[in-house]
Amino acid sequence: MRLLLCVGLSLAIAATSAIAGEASTESNGVKKRRANLFKHDYSAAYTVQRVSVRTACFPEKLEAILAHIAQQTGRKPVVTSGHRPRAGASQHSHCLAADIRVPGVSDRKVVAAASTAPGIGGIGRYCNGIIHVDVGPKRRWVYC
């Protein structure tokens, strides 16, 4: 009976690790899967304008900001620009910024939603309807 219980528990742990796990390497070089049940997947909270928009490197803090904007506005933000390696001193060059649009929502409402997001840094508004959000230092700007 105890053997069956131990085998059943081992199978349940293995299944959990396979579903929500990440690969890790132990000191002896053997790869082992470990459960990471507390990491959030915010990628469903936004979409990208084109497949070429780089968002895979977004830190969880930036994804949480985009999820907050989606929750506050009731619509998913569309990321028009993410990581741009040649962006100079921009937060985009460090993959800490996103330029977004939220279809059907005014720029002012998007900026208001972004302003209340935990961990927000810079928020910029451009005349073409693009809103910049990042996790850098706190600052605001409007270029119109």
For 21-69, the pLDDT digits (tens) are 444 444 555 554 444 444 566 657 888 888 888 889 999 999 999 999 9
Q: What is the DSSP pairing of strand 139-143 with strand 122-126? A: parallel
Query: Which pLDDT does position 41 carry in this prediction?
Result: 61
For 5-34, the pLDDT digits (tens) are 444 444 444 444 444 444 444 455 555 444
Q: What is the DSSP pairing of strand 97-101 with strand 122-126? A: unpaired
For 78-124, the pLDDT digits (tens) are 999 999 988 888 999 999 999 999 999 999 999 999 999 999 999 99
131 and 124 Cβ atoms separated by less than 8 Å: yes
Angle subtended at Cα 72 by Cα 37 and Cα 91, rounded to the nearest 5 degrees: 75
CATH code, residues 43-143 = 3.30.1380.10
Task: Report how far apart, in Å, the C-alpha atoms of 138 and of each of 13, 32, 50 are.
Answer: 43, 40, 28
